């Protein structure tokens, strides 16, 4: 951590979320003599930098960390910081603790828009707030032009500390998977059958299990690297372009307002799927596909209470107030298939997302929340545009979302609602009458806006190693790089793609 802005580095990284952290980690491991600086628009939340807020032990400090992540206009102090709050909220614009909504431009007349589109600004990015789910893509979710995708996913799993068996002994977890398997597994390939959800978590010697944030991705290799610098509250306002090459980044110190131009041999923009194309646009880097093929995952939720299970003797712990993952936090996975183009995340919640009678105390692990995510029907016309005349609260080009659900999307949403009912019926008794399909944007899994392509054919922004077409030295990272319509949680895939990009930079540094 520093407030000193370097004049010259080998690699400048914009954004400190899991993908930006992956670049820093791979470069620290492969090129420890290279100078690397990461600039983050948001503040430091806690130590180590990038820690997941759920790992902050003190409740007041945890709540403060969430407020600090909420950008230029955080929610009021009296707003809930309970992440289960709003699980069944029918508000047309659902905002979650630690995130902030796009203030304007989220919906155009006659379009569906993304009313709940949101971002986070903090060291660690959305990796400080996520659920840690790291399933692998399957079927048409996979990027077919990457022959080494499996190895990259393995490496992404190493950086994120992915564990598929962290909660095998959670109460009723086996029973949950047994019931789901009976409802869904018939006719599926082995890797598409119901399984424990691979989770980004860290098991400690004392038995605790905590969430992986960007701190885990940074790892000791980055934190102990004397040539690595992390500067929070530093807004990257422009990538400096000289001819057909990126040569530096203009950064504004948000504490003082001072501007610095940091020269760099390579620049990685790893903001998020909205702010990465925004920075490229502000820098005059405007390929046709920039901001296009924007996709969100339509999300439906349901909650049930397991039927016919005995009360367990373990002391109940409310996961909403626990500083780490609790023993009954079982998470199961119903994978995506091309025949059923959605993905199910099944979480044993330990507390009901809907009110129960005062004297009704459920057995730990017996309340199950189901979340089904659909793959989007990709359209070039679904996009984020930028305004050269208007600006957002950071002074960057204002965003305007164009987004429509197609008939195919509506059909897959209805099919996912039927599937989530089927899952609920297999597990137990519903806690509400009908599943709830959230407003577009609620998933926070935005993709495609700086998508990868096999060739520079106008339908992509970057190469298979995340190099921006036509601008030497400039790379992009994050969920926006994913070119396929995936329904599963995207972080493992985007970190895997970041690994390929970081290796490419490392090879170029070694060869210089």
pLDDT at position 312 over 70: no
Cβ atoms of residues 381 and 402 within 8 Å: yes
Burial of 434 (0-12, 13-18, 19+ CB in 10 A): exposed
Alpha-carbon distance 464 to 46, whole Å? 35
pLDDT reported for residue 321: 47
Distant-in-sequence, close-in-space partners of 184: CB < 8 Å, separation ≥ 6:
193, 194, 334, 419, 422, 423
Strand blocks (E) in 173-233: 195-196, 199-203, 209-211, 228-231
Structure tokens at 462: 């970057």
Alpha-carbon distance 42 to 26, whole Å? 23
pLDDT at position 363 over 90: no
462 φ, ψ (degrees, to nearest 5): -140, 170
Helix axes 149-160, 18-30, angle to 10 degrees: 100
User: What integer is the mean pLDDT of 304-326?
Assistant: 59
pLDDT reported for residue 79: 77
Mean of the per-residue pLDDT values for the chain?
92
Active site residues: 445
Token look-up 């995936």 returns 486
In this structure, the strands spanning 162-163 and 259-269 are unpaired
Residue range 134-173, pLDDT digits in tens: 999 999 999 999 999 999 999 999 999 999 988 887 888 9
Distant-in-sequence, close-in-space partners of 294: CB < 8 Å, separation ≥ 6:
273, 382, 383, 384, 401, 403, 446, 447, 448, 449
Alpha-carbon distance 180 to 186, whole Å? 11
Give domain limits for the chain: 164-211+298-374+404-439
User: What integer is the mean pLDDT of 191-195?
Assistant: 97
Cβ atoms of residues 256 and 243 within 8 Å: no
Residue range 367-423, pLDDT digits in tens: 899 999 999 999 999 999 999 899 999 999 999 999 999 999 999 999 999 999 999
Comparing 206 with 119, the larger pLDDT belongs to 119
Comparing 228 with 79, the larger pLDDT belongs to 228
pLDDT reported for residue 316: 46
Alpha carbon separation from 392 to 395, 472, 473 (Å, rounded): 5, 28, 27
User: What confidence category does residue 75 fall into, taking pLDDT thresholds of 50, 70 and 90?
Assistant: confident
Burial of 304 (0-12, 13-18, 19+ CB in 10 A): buried
- For the chain, percent of residues with pLDDT exceeding 90: 81
Residue range 436-477, pLDDT digits in tens: 999 999 999 999 999 999 999 999 999 999 999 999 999 999
pLDDT reported for residue 317: 44
The three state secondary structure string of 258-297 is CEEEEEEEEEEECCCCCHHHHHHHHCCCCCCCCCECCECC
**Bond before 48 cis per omega within 30 degrees:** yes
Token look-up 């109460």 returns 171
Alpha carbon separation from 485 to 138, 479, 488 (Å, rounded): 11, 11, 9
**pTM score:** 0.95
pLDDT at position 61 over 80: yes
The closest alpha carbon to 218, from 15, 501, 489, belongs to 15
The DSSP string of 358-402 is: TT--PPTT-EEEEEEEEPP---TT-EEEEEEEEE-TTSSEEEEEE
Alpha-carbon distance 511 to 183, whole Å? 54
Beta bridge pairs of residue 230: 38
């Amino acid at each position: 951590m520093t407030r000193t802005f370097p004049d010259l580095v080998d690699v400048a990284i914009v954004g400190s979320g899991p993908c930006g952290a992956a670049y820093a980690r791979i470069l620290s491991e492969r090129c420890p003599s290279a100078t690397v600086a990461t600039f983050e628009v948001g503040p430091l939340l806690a130590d180590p930098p990038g820690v997941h807020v759920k790992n902050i032990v003190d409740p007041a400090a945890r709540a403060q960390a969430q407020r600090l992540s909420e950008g230029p206009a955080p929610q009021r102090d009296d707003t809930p910081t309970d992440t289960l709050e709003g699980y069944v909220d029918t508000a047309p614009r659902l905002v979650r603790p630690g995130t902030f909504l796009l203030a304007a431009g989220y919906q155009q007349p006659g379009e569906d828009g993304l009313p709940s589109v949101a971002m986070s600004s903090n060291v660690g990015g959305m990796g400080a707030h996520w659920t840690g789910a790291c399933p692998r893509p399957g079927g048409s979710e996979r990027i077919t032009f990457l022959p080494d995708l499996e190895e990259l996913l393995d490496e992404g799993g190493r950086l994120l500390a992915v564990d598929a068996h962290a909660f095998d002994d959670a109460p009723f977890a086996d029973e949950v998977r047994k019931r789901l398997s009976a409802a869904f597994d018939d006719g599926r390939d082995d890797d598409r059958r119901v399984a424990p959800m691979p989770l980004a978590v860290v098991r400690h010697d004392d038995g605790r299990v905590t969430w992986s944030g960007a701190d885990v991705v940074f790892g000791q290799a980055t934190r102990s690297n004397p040539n690595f610098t992390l500067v929070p509250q530093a807004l990257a306002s422009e990538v400096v372009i000289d001819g057909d090459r990126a040569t530096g980044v203009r950064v504004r110190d948000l504490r003082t307002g001072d501007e610095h131009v940091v020269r760099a041999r390579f620049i990685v923009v790893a903001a998020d799927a909205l702010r990465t194309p925004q920075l490229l646009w502000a820098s005059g880097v405007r390929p046709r596909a920039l901001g296009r093929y924007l996709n969100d995952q339509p999300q439906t939720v349901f909650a049930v209470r397991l039927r016919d299970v005995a009360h367990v003797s373990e002391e109940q712990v409310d996961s909403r107030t626990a500083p780490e993952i609790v023993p009954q936090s079982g998470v199961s996975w119903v994978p995506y298939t091309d025949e059923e183009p959605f993905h199910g995340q099944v979480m044993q919640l330990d507390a009901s997302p809907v009110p129960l009678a005062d004297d009704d105390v459920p057995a730990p692990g017996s309340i199950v929340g189901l979340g089904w995510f659909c793959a989007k029907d990709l359209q070039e016309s679904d996009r984020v545009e930028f305004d050269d005349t208007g600006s957002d609260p950071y002074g960057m080009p204002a965003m305007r979302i164009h987004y429509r659900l197609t008939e195919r999307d509506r059909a897959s949403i209805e099919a996912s609602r039927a599937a989530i009912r089927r899952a609920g019926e297999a597990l137990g008794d519903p806690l509400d009458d009908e599943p709830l399909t959230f407003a577009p944007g609620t998933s926070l899994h935005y993709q495609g806006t700086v998508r990868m392509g096999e060739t520079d054919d106008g339908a992509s922004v970057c190469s298979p190693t995340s190099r921006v077409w036509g601008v030497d030295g400039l790379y992009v990272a994050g969920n926006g790089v994913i070119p396929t319509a995936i329904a599963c949680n995207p972080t493992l895939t985007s970190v895997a793609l970041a690994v390929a990009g970081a290796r490419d930079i490392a090879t170029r540094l070694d060869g210089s």
